[in-house]
């Protein structure tokens, strides 16, 4: 059974939901950089203060800062992990590769949640998180297309990518993910 996974896809594709379901079912660590950063903001830590405005504007926080969070969490004992929201650009991909070589836990599958823009925007507006307003959604989608989307090709070339049609209902999507995991 593969246990070092990554969810890739635009904001609102359902990465968090699917990663949570899968990690719960298999007792994997669910590492969502967005979730960890939001926690820091809620606790009003120094880190939280540093990233609050950036996140509320829908921009990316610094690679260095996110890398520290990822390193700290992957170091812990775990029965496998699912990365959600990291990496988001090629520089983060290379940092992640270094971390994974160090801990000797290579990435095994990248699930790309493929979904049309119209569906995303509708979903995000319903979700209603603090950074889910029209202006911020536009910024996040633009950044996604410019900096994160190239990662699809990168992981495809490494034969790690599994395409998941992500505009259906939750159960169909998670069944598809499970089936593709079993086939690997
Ligand atoms: P998410 O929950 O994945 O949608 O992330 C919410 C916000 O957290 C993003 O809009 C960024 O501001 C920040 N963030 C999360 N992950 C990263 C990352 N890998 N690199 C930079 N910023 C991130």
Q: Which atom of ligand 1 is nearest to the CA of 85?
A: 3
For the residues 112-124, what does the mean pLDDT come to? 94
Tens of pLDDT, residues 35-70:
999 999 999 999 999 999 999 999 999 999 999 999
Reported as a pLDDT band with limits 50, 70 and 90, residue 1 is: confident
- Which pLDDT score is estimated for 77? 81
Mean pLDDT of the chain: 96
- Which pLDDT score is estimated for 75? 80
Binning the chain into helix, strand and coil, the percentages to the nearest 5 are: 60, 15, 30
Residue whose CA is at the smallest distance from ligand 1 atom 1: 34
Selected residue with higher pLDDT from 184 and 46: 46
Q: 1 C-alpha vs ligand 1 centroid, how far in Å?
A: 28
Segments making up each domain of the chain, as ranges? 3-182
Can you name the CATH fold of 3-182?
Rossmann fold (3.40.50)
Give the whole-angstrom CA distance, residue 174 versus residue 22.
8
- Which pLDDT score is estimated for 110? 98
Q: Which atom of ligand 1 is nearest to the CA of 33?
A: 16
């Amino acid at each position: 059974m593969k246990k070092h996974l990554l969810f890739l896809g635009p904001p609102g594709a359902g990465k968090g939901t699917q990663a949570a379901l899968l990690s719960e079912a298999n007792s994997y660590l669910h590492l969502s950089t967005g979730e960890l950063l939001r926690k820091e903001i809620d606790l009003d830590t120094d880190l939280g203060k540093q990233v609050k405005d950036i996140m509320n504007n829908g921009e990316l926080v610094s690679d260095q800062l996110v890398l520290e969070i990822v390193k700290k969490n992957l170091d812990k004992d775990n029965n496998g992990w699912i990365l959600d929201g990291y990496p988001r650009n090629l520089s983060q991909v290379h940092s992640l590769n270094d971390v994974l070589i160090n801990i000797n836990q290579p990435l095994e599958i990248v699930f790309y949640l493929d979904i049309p823009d119209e569906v995303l925007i509708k979903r995000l507006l319903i979700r209603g998180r603090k950074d889910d307003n029209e202006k911020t959604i536009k910024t996040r989608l633009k950044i996604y297309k410019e900096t994160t989307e190239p990662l699809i090709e990168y992981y495809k070339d490494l034969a790690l990518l599994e395409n998941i049609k992500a505009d259906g209902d939750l159960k169909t999507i998670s069944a598809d993910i499970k089936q593709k995991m079993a086939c690997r």
